[in-house]
Amino acid sequence: MSRIASIPDPTLIAANERVFPLTQLREGSRARVVSTAKCCEDCDLLNAMGLTEHCELRVCQRGSTCIVQVNQTRLGLSSEVAGKILVSDVIGE
């Protein structure tokens, strides 16, 4: 997994913390969202649906479309959107 250069909010990332797209997470993994800014026009909607920076998510299903759980909200995302969501800190599987 490669480190992503353009991170909108550097305060979210601790030193040596790896940041990568959501699509690289395995099924069942938990992670913290670092940025949704790359999602452009979908960013506000994602945020309003609960997928915001700092929030913790769990990957329920992955593939060309994926399902993630944020708190009690289950979201279906296209790989296009999931690929633009940057996450870090794999919390557990």
**SS3 (DSSP) at 5:** coil
User: What spatial distance separates the first Cα and last Cα of the chain, rounded to whole Å?
Assistant: 18
Stretch 38-77 residues interacting with other proteins (CB under 8 A) = 41-42, 44-50, 52-55, 60-61, 63-65, 67, 69-77
Residue closer to other proteins (CB basis): 3 or 71: 71
Residue closer to other proteins (CB basis): 19 or 82: 82
Stretch 10-39 residues interacting with other proteins (CB under 8 A) = none
Q: How far is CA 3 from CA 19, 39, 72, 73, 79, in A?
A: 6, 18, 30, 28, 19
Question: Does the footprint of other proteins cover residue 91 (CB under 8 A)?
Answer: no
